[in-house]
Structure 1
């Protein structure tokens, strides 16, 4: 494992990022720790916590996943995908909102679900599952609002200024939605072992994570037709994250959480995206070599 840790750290350095990783064999408990207990900003990775909460409440009968929700054009949470990018009134079910939230990281869909579920319920779920360092502070609209407030009158165009970045609450785990890599792999392992919620609902969570459309981070490290990757990304200025599960045809399944930060504020940094897949593969290969 020492060699694997060295390769992971070298890959982070070569990509120009500071990175934290935890990988665990879901069935044996073997793990690789490269800063697993570092507090990190979750960004849209926290939608996984909301997704599990939604299905937990459906299981207990506190909500019906087929319940319809209206989404008028005005007042939507900003974002480049899904409902956030649409212009006309929409009506859809809670479970279809969950699909958009997970597959394309739709912020409007996430906040509509939070309006039905509530942040307190999300925090109760993570606490119940023993995720002691995971906490939701903001809705996604509120999170984006802190960016605007902290950036000041210069607006989004000055979010590339290093001095401005230092004052953003959204980039400070003490003041925003947060977790650790270890907490996230614990959550994923609970979902894959049918422990986070009833088997029917855990299967629904796994299905949605498997429908995520982004191939440029975690999935890029596993370009094989017979290896299945299910995950959830998260992105903020200088931050690129993904957590997920990698499943091999021999039955091996591995929960991986990778969180990165770079000093370069550019929105497009292919090396910073792909290193998430590179380090995840290094970690999973090390775990597989042990067995």
Structure 2
């Protein structure tokens, strides 16, 4: 399987990181410590910072909160009341940028970064809110590594609410493309110009396998999507053919 994955990566130009880890103790890692622009994978780390004690607290949606890009909240009428848990679902399932920014304001960017640092995430930084063009002009951005994302994925998949959010992901054009719909892939995608990531846990009747694919510096974004498609297919078939 590792040789097939490396063969796929060799066909494309770019920077890549891959981790395949299963519940039986097997692990493949390629550039696991490489720091990538996180794109929306940073939303997994933000989710990990939210206390369940805050889930029922309500936030009123305001016009100033709304930003472009992914999501539905930008289209809702201001004044709508949403719980922190609602916002978390929007952030993960729909990759909603407005929900994400509201949660960043609620938690505090400095508090998020301190939490991540104290939790042992060496490569993950929240440097800006979603769609903050001015911050990008100042070279502020969001970063993570495959290794850090492997850790947060495991934590979230062991939490009932977070796992439900990941299972209800609607962006399924990458790892999930060649995996049958009835199979459960709890995951989160991320994309920017020249960046295409997907991070998830695929469940089998006898266990699970984590699949983390990071692609950056792509000539075309479609290359990163195809890499995710092909790796998802290879991993799924590998485990299915072995009766897992």
**TM-score bucket of the superposed structures, by smaller chain:** 0.7 to 0.9
The equivalent residue for 2:165 is 208
Counterparts of 1:274 and 1:252 in 2: how far apart (Å)? 26
Q: State the distance in 2 between where 1:221 and 1:238 align.
A: 22
- CA RMSD after TM alignment: 2.6
1:11 to 8, 13, 26: 8
What stretches of structure 1 move > 6 A for 4+ residues in a row? none
Q: TM-score when scaled to structure 1?
A: 0.74
In 1, the alpha carbon distance for the partners of 2:203 and 2:161 equals 17
Matched, 1:229 2:225: no
* Larger helix fraction of residues: 1
Q: Once the 2 structures are TM-superposed, how far is the Cα of residue 21 of structure 1 from its aligned partner?
A: 0.6
| 1:81-96 equivalent positions in 2, closer than 5 A | 81-86=71-76, 88-96=78-86
Note the residue ranges of structure 2 that are not aligned, 5 or more in a row: none
1:72 lines up with 2:84 in the alignment = no
Q: Does 1:176 pair with 2:141?
A: yes
Cα distance between partner residues in 1 of 2:210 and 2:90:
23
Deviation, 1:67, is 1.5
Which of 49, 53, 58 is the matching residue for 1:53?
A: 49
1:73 and 1:257 mapped to 2: Cα distance?
A: 36
Alignment: residue pair count = 243
Q: Does 1:254 align with 2:209?
A: yes
Label 1:286 to 1:18 Cα distance change in 2 as closer, same or farther (>3 A).
farther
How far off its partner does 1:7 sit? 1.6
Separation of aligned partners in 1, 2:40 and 2:25: 26
Q: Deviations over 1:212-231 (max 9, x none)?
A: 10110121142252x20011
CA distance in 1, matches of 2:97, 2:168: 17
Q: Which residue of 2 is the match for residue 36 of structure 1?
A: 32
Structure 1: how far apart are the matches of 2:232 and 2:116?
24
Query: Is contact 2:70-2:94 (8 Å) kept?
Result: no
Alpha-carbon distance in structure 1 between the residues aligned to 2:118 and 2:111: 10
In the alignment, the residues of structure 1 paired with residue 231 and residue 130 of structure 2 have an alpha-carbon distance, to the nearest angstrom, of 28
Secondary structure class of the residue paired with 2:134: helix
- Any conservation in 1 of the 2:188–2:198 contact (CA below 8 Å)? yes
Task: Specify whether residues 125 and 277 from structure 1 end up closer, same or farther in structure 2 by C-alpha distance, changes over 3 A only.
Answer: farther
Q: Check if 1:187 corresponds to 2:144.
A: no
Distance (Å, rounded) in 1 between the aligned partners of 2:150 and 2:220: 28
Give the SS at the match of 2:210. strand
What TM-score, normalized to structure 2?
0.87
